[in-house]
Chain A
Amino acid sequence: MLNFARFVAIRAVMAMITLVIVSLVVFSLMELVPGDCAERYLAFKNTQGSGISMADIENERIRLGLDRPFLERWGKWIIGAFQGEFGDSCILRVNIAQLLGDKFWISLALCLSALLLAYIIAIPVGIISAASSNATLNNSLRIFSYLGLALPNFLLALMIMLVSTVYFGDTLTGLFSREYRDAEWSWDRVLDLMSHAWLPIFILGWSATAFALQTVRALVSDEIGKLYVTAAAARGMYGRKLLWRYPARHSLGPIVNSLGFDLNRIFNELPIVALILTLTEAGALLIEALARSNDQQLAGAIIFLLTASIVALNFFTDVLLAAIDPRVRKSILS
């Protein structure tokens, strides 16, 4: 028991360290990109046509404290980040915590729903695919799932939107209808959200299905050939019960392990889909901040939150796995 507690504690510390390292990497990356907060903000103003001089930019820089040394700025930022204070957005000049508000939770909800959808499809299909000898069923299921991978998200989203616009007169954009955009949370608002959210969840889930499917299939087919399964079959177990009690359960371990990174992958794809469907959530803001407006503060904040979620999820799954799977426990604790 003590060993286990020690394991948990070490894992927790390592998670924290990982978070700090990643934040350092992210912060440095934002620094390396040419142009900083001052230039960005003034660049925006200038696309509207006002004349900006280098002196203006210098002044803006000093005002934002960008002339301080790197470590000092990083230190301030990371300390603030752990408290949930991310400063102001470069471009919008709005307090980031306000800006993100419930957007981040919506994004997380979208990603987790997509992940859930992916595994709901992948687990049964993977098991069937690994166990069945019906080639046609096998192949058609696989083709359908892998198509989600091969068709890039943005293309799929755009095509669906286009069909919907041209043939149904509804551009299917946004997460909320106009009436609910700024309203308070209520049951109606949740329903409205769900009526719009099915599209991004579907798109993200379909492409995540492929990876999940391959993983499940590989794991189950590994296990299914093992001797204990043959032994169980010899004892008279068959069909679904056999599949479920033995190989499937043992394959779940590694799946649980990789949940954190699956979330990361989905979250990496969310911004592009969000951009196209004009979803008002953190993913769209992130891609805005990174690829369009180079708003380092906002991007850094969102990435930090995401990283924290993933690290937390990893920590949780690691501990869970060690608790339920004795093989893993033995390896790690030896």
Chain B
Amino acid sequence: MTDMTDPNTSLPPAADAERRAKEAYFTASQSQLIWARFKKQRAAMIAAYVLMFLLLSGLFAPFLSPYDPNIAGRNKDYLNGAPTIPMFCDTNGCSVRPFLHTIERERSMATNFRWVETVNEDKRRYMEFFVEGSSYKLLGFIPMDTHLFGMNEGFIHLFGTDASGKDIFSRTLHAIWTSIQVGTIGVLIAFVLALIIGGISGYYGGWIDSVLQMITDAVRTVPAIPLFMAIAAFVPQEWSAEERFFFISMILGLIGWPTLARRVRTHLLTERNQEYVLAAQLCGASPRHVIGKHLLPSFTSYIIVDLVISFPYMVLSETALSFIGLGLKDPVNSLGVMLQNVTSADVLLNYQWYFIPVIFFIALVMAFVFVGDGLRDAADPYSDNNK
């Protein structure tokens, strides 16, 4: 008997390792289990890495981007310019430091107002790292003015520029962060409301459920567009574009809760007839205790998954609303705004680099969706793959 509980008993290394693994498994908390299962899914892990990458680039956007994404950081001489990718070698030889050629442009009625470029191969501009540039506040409170890279003279545009000369690379990074912020706020608000309303509705059932369901349905049926228009009219004039977008994300949350609430309620409706709930009630637990300590944790995994999955829908709502002019607009940097700029026949035909933020957008959405699916599979204790 002492053998089993005495950790100092020596065993062959393989059996020892197996025993430790089993112990780890049986004593692991729920989140550790989920993480272990998640790691096994390749698609989900790839998506998770992509997501992390995007989040970090958004978070450190001011540091990673060479210029201010607003009109102050524009390149007056390079409007609607194609991406400039640094190179190491050209006809004049190679160099350790990457460099760019200088481009001269002109346009007139004769060229149908399209820029005609001449590349000056002899004039090189070198890339530098950790350069001093426009000042910003990293993470919102650390004042800095160092940027990861820049040029010793002139500009560098990895993703090209738009019609005012703003650097699309810088804009994209900042835009990712804005869109993530909008999504997060929206999801959090939706989540809290859904838990409360869905929880009460599902637990009590009966007429409370009917009334709350009616309210939920009513809110769900109200179309987003008129709601937005009316609310947008109430935004005070003095608020800046950024403050306006916080408001918009709040509103997205307020119209997003019904879907989550319904799921919560459905789960509760089925779970509350289970025996463990009955047992808790017989022990004299209050309804709040039963909901909070027993029912909700039984589907924490579902909640997490729902959270992650509703994220892209929030971002998409912001995009669609911005397209019809009700959400964020230029000069705010959000993925929705950058998508708006793409929807012009001229751009689609001639300035294809405007599409690069679209790829980021798609990547962000797909990453969230795959991670969400992966989490759901990992969280489900009955799932086939986890035997």
Binding site for B on A (CB under 8 A): 10, 14, 17-18, 21-22, 25-26, 28-30, 32-34, 131, 133, 135, 138-139, 142-143, 146-147, 149-155, 158-159, 162, 166, 210-211, 214, 217-218, 221-222, 224-226, 254, 261, 264, 267-269, 271-272, 275, 286-287, 290-291, 294, 299, 303, 306-307, 310-311, 314, 327, 330-332, 334
Return B135 CB to nearest CB of chain A, in Å.
34
- A253 nearest CB neighbor, chain B only: B266
Q: In angstroms, how far is the closest chain B Cβ from the Cβ of A3?
A: 14
Is the pair B210, A14 in contact by a Cβ cutoff of 8 Å?
yes
Q: Taking the nearest CB of chain A, how far is it from the CB of B125, in angstroms?
A: 35
Is A142 a contact of B373 with CB atoms below 8 Å? yes
Residue from A34, A287, A303 within 8 A of B324 (CB atoms)? A287
Residue count of chain B within 8 Å CB distance of chain A = 61
**Does B65 lie at the interface of the complex (its beta carbon under 8 Å from any beta carbon of A)?**
no
Q: Tell me if B233 and A21 are in contact (CB < 8 A).
A: no
Main secondary structure of the interface of A (DSSP, over half): helix
- Would A221 and B365 count as touching, CB distance under 8 A? no
Q: Are B233 and A225 in contact (CB-based, < 8 A)?
A: no
Residues of chain B touching chain A, judged by Cβ–Cβ distance below 8 Å, are: 42-43, 205-206, 209-210, 213-214, 217-218, 220-227, 229-231, 233-234, 259, 266, 269-270, 273, 309, 312-313, 316, 319-320, 323-326, 339, 342-343, 345, 348-349, 358, 361-362, 365-366, 369-370, 372-373, 376-377, 380-385
A182 to B275 CA separation, bound complex (whole angstroms)? 65
Establish whether residues A225 and B205, one from each chain, have CB atoms under 8 Å apart when the complex forms: no
The reply to whether B221 and A225 contact each other, CB–CB distance below 8 Å, is no
Q: What separation, in Å, do the CA atoms of A319 and B218 have in the docked complex?
A: 18
26 contacts across the A-B interface (CB closer than 8 A)? A18-B221, A29-B230, A142-B370, A146-B366, A149-B365, A150-B369, A151-B362, A158-B345, A162-B348, A210-B369, A214-B369, A217-B373, A224-B384, A225-B382, A225-B383, A264-B221, A268-B223, A268-B320, A271-B225, A287-B225, A290-B225, A290-B229, A291-B229, A307-B221, A327-B270, A330-B273
- A104 to B254: give the CA distance in the assembly, Å: 29
Nearest-neighbour CB distance to chain B for A334, whole angstroms, equals: 6
Closest to B363 in A: A150
Contacting residues, chain A, for B370 (C-beta < 8 A): 142, 146
In whole angstroms, what is the CA distance A269 to B224 when docked?
Answer: 10
Q: Are B210 and A10 in contact, CB atoms less than 8 angstroms apart?
A: yes
Q: From B345, which residue of chain A is reached at the shortest CB distance?
A: A162
Q: Among A150, A290, A331, A332, point to the contact of B362 (Cβ < 8 A).
A: A150
**A-B interface pairs (CB < 8 A), number:** 155
A299 to B217, CA, bound (A): 20
Q: How far is the CA of A306 from the CA of B226 in the complex (A)?
A: 13
Q: Please give 18 more A-B residue pairs, beta carbons under 8 A apart, in addition to A162-B348, A272-B320, A303-B223.
A: A30-B230, A32-B230, A32-B231, A33-B230, A142-B43, A142-B370, A143-B366, A149-B312, A154-B320, A154-B323, A267-B223, A287-B225, A291-B225, A291-B229, A291-B325, A291-B326, A299-B226, A332-B205
Known contacts A26-B222, A143-B366; is-contact A334 B206 (Cβ 8 Å) = yes
Would B234 and A158 count as touching, CB distance under 8 A? no
| Nearest-Cβ distance from residue B373 to partner chain A, whole angstroms | 7
- CB of A135 within 8 A of CB of B210, answer no
B-chain residues with CB within 8 Å of residue A131 when the two chains form the complex: 384
Bound CA–CA A217/B343 (angstroms): 33
| B214-A303 in contact (CB<8A) | no
Are A152 and B320 also in contact (CB < 8 A) when A18-B214, A139-B43 are?
A: yes
Contacts of A10 in B (CB 8 A): 210
- Check B266 against A159 for contact (C-beta < 8 Å): no
Find A261's partner among B220, B233, B365, B377 (CB 8 Å cutoff).
Answer: B220
A311: min CB distance to chain B, Å: 7
Contact of A29 among B226, B319, B358, B373 (CB under 8 A): B226
Contacts of A25 in B (CB 8 A): 218, 222
Q: Which residues of A contact B349 (CB under 8 A)?
A: 162, 166
B343 touches A310 (CB 8 A): no
When distances are taken between beta carbons in the complex, the residues of chain B under 8 Å from A217 are: 373
| Closest A residue to B325 using CB positions | A291
A228 to chain B, nearest CB (A): 12
Which residue of the partner chain A has the closest CB to B376?
A218
Give Cα A217 to B217, complex, Å: 24
Q: Are A149 and B259 in contact (CB under 8 A)?
A: no
With A18-B214, A261-B259, A291-B324: A155-B365 Cβ-Cβ less than 8 Å: no
- Whether the pair B218, A18 counts as a contact (CB closer than 8 A) is yes
Option from B209, B343, B380 in Cβ contact (under 8 Å) with A155: B343
Most buried by A among B225, B345, B383: B225
- Bound together, the chains give a CA A271 to CA B385 distance in angstroms of 42
- Known contacts A158-B343, A162-B345; A32 and B233 CB within 8 A of each other: yes
Check B362 against A147 for contact (C-beta < 8 Å).
yes
Alpha-carbon distance between A327 and B274 when the two chains are bound, in angstroms:
13
Known A-B contacts A29-B227, A150-B365, A217-B373; the reply to A331 vs B205 at CB < 8 A is yes
